Amino acid sequence: MDTAAAESRNPGMAPDPSSHRLMPRFLVIVLSLAGLVIALQFVQGLQTIVGPVFLGLNLVIIAYPLQAWLIRQGVHRFLGATVTVAVVVVVLLVFMALVLWSASELVLALPQYAQQFNEIYNSMITWVGSFGVTPDMMLEQLSGLNMSTVVSTATGIVTALLSNVTAILGLLATVVMTVFFLAMDSVAVDRRMALLNTAKYELGTALSAFAEGVGRYWIVTTVFGLIVAVLDVAALAIIGVPMIWVWGVLSFLTNYIPNVGFIIGMVPPALLGLVEGGWGAFIAVIAAYSVLNFVIQAVIQPKFTGESVGVIPTVSFLSLLFWAWILGPLGAILALPATLLLKAIMIDADPQSRWINSFIASDLKGLEARMAKARADTGDSAGTAGTAATAAPAGPGDPSAGAVAAPAEPVESPASQAAGEATVASGTPGHSGTGQAEPAGRRRESGEAQGH
């Protein structure tokens, strides 16, 4: 009624879209933010469950091509799923063994370098004092800092992580059980995706693209992480830093943390290089790590990941901080996949929200190509509809007249109409049982029958 009244008052103006809103925009924004805060607190409270479950989902996505290949080779679906679960469990055990081995090596090695770190600390105080800062001022500011305390604190943290066997086993058990159930349920994933594409085509397409992109992301990240780790080990061996294999494993594991992972993996070998080889080794380690990681991860790796990352580096870094806050340390590893899942559900699956990709998508060329194709398809559809709507009737000599326009009914001359009326009045065979004149074609057929 309001819209009709507005149109009657302003017949030349389009109705205001805001007149259809049930609530003011400000109230909608406030309620949406409040709901988002509640949802985030809920997920944060369940981080010990949500994190491992989402990690298990990622592992199933990575291993699903193996399961599909086994099924194509004639292996029973459930047997193929069981083999996939076994492979995933073996990979998880290998990763856990690498983490435990490298952490134990650090626990054994760090206390041996406490004296050297103290000497470096004292030399740094002396060097700063050469710029006019007295040692008393430095000691007053750093009175609570002792390198022996720092080393013992770091050792205590690693030891606590190793001794917390219950948490580690609980995390591993949750991941393994999630992988098992998801793998069993994945035997019918093709049929489920077909049903989803039928009911919600946009959502099905977005989730399929998410699964493909995330699988490619993990595989490419693993391969290039191994390459970077091997090159880092070679560089550390040339520089003369001890425990090169421990730092190689650390470099490989921290490669899964986007943006800042290589910095985390660079600090321990750089400090150890400072202890063993002085400032020259320290600078050499930093330079080697920076060059190798920049060339491989920033230049070469994106050419293989393609659209799998999907977001610009700023969004990737912010997602790292966000998901590490929501899911804890595991969120730092799952930051990009979690962001891509939200992007697939909330942006890619909603045509009205895809404009956000203009600000956060990394593949601008692909985005421009898809938008150009969508515009071309829309233009073709509109042109076809306009041509059909404005098509003129074909002339008598047009051979396509029968295919375009419906045949017109025969028009009788006034004389024929008069003859027909006379026939009806006289009760001749052209008279119909209902008192109406028969069609001209039927009258011709009955006349020919009478002639025979």
pLDDT in tens, 287-308: 999 998 888 877 787 777 655 5
Q: Please, which residues bridge with residue 431 across strands?
A: 437
φ/ψ region of 74 (left if φ > 0, alpha if ψ in -120 to 50, else beta) reads left
Q: Please check the confidence at residue 231 and state whether its pLDDT lies above 80.
A: yes
In the predicted model, what is the mean pLDDT of residues 14-33?
Answer: 70
Q: Which residues contact 228 (CB under 8 A, 6 or more apart)?
A: 251, 252, 255, 262, 292, 293, 296, 297
DSSP H or E run through 86: helix 77-109
- Cβ–Cβ < 8 Å for 147, 114: yes
- Report the distance separating Cα 315 and Cα 307, nearest Å: 14
Three-state DSSP state, 427: coil
pLDDT of amino acid 204: 79
pLDDT of amino acid 401: 42
- Report the distance separating Cα 426 and Cα 421, nearest Å: 9
Q: What is the pTM of this model?
A: 0.65
Q: Please check the confidence at residue 47 and state whether its pLDDT lies above 90.
A: no
pLDDT higher for 151 or 243?
A: 243
In the predicted model, what is the mean pLDDT of residues 8-28?
Answer: 61
Q: How far is the CA of 89 from the CAs of 67, 94, 129, 216, 241, in angstroms?
A: 14, 9, 55, 20, 34
Q: Please check the confidence at residue 412 and state whether its pLDDT lies above 90.
A: no
Q: Measuring CA to CA, which residue among 237, 236, 244 is closest to residue 286?
A: 236
- Cβ–Cβ < 8 Å for 188, 195: no
Give 252: exposed, middle or buried? Use CB within 10 Å, 0-12, 13-18, 19+: buried
Q: How far is the CA of 335 from the CAs of 58, 329, 353, 372, in angstroms?
A: 12, 10, 22, 31
- Give the pLDDT band (50/70/90) at residue 404: very low
Q: How far is the CA of 384 from the CAs of 373, 381, 394, 399, in angstroms?
A: 16, 5, 18, 22
pLDDT higher for 419 or 70?
A: 70
pLDDT of amino acid 348: 82
Give the 3-state secondary structure of 195-255.
Answer: HHHHHCHHHHHHHHHHHHHHHHHHHHHHHHHHHHHHHHHHHHHHHCCCCHHHHHHHHHHHC
pLDDT higher for 15 or 331?
A: 331
How many percent of the chain have pLDDT more than 90?
Answer: 6
Please report the DSSP string for 284-328 in residue order: HHHHHHHHHHIIIIIIIHHHHHTTSS-B-HHHHHHHHHHHHHHHT
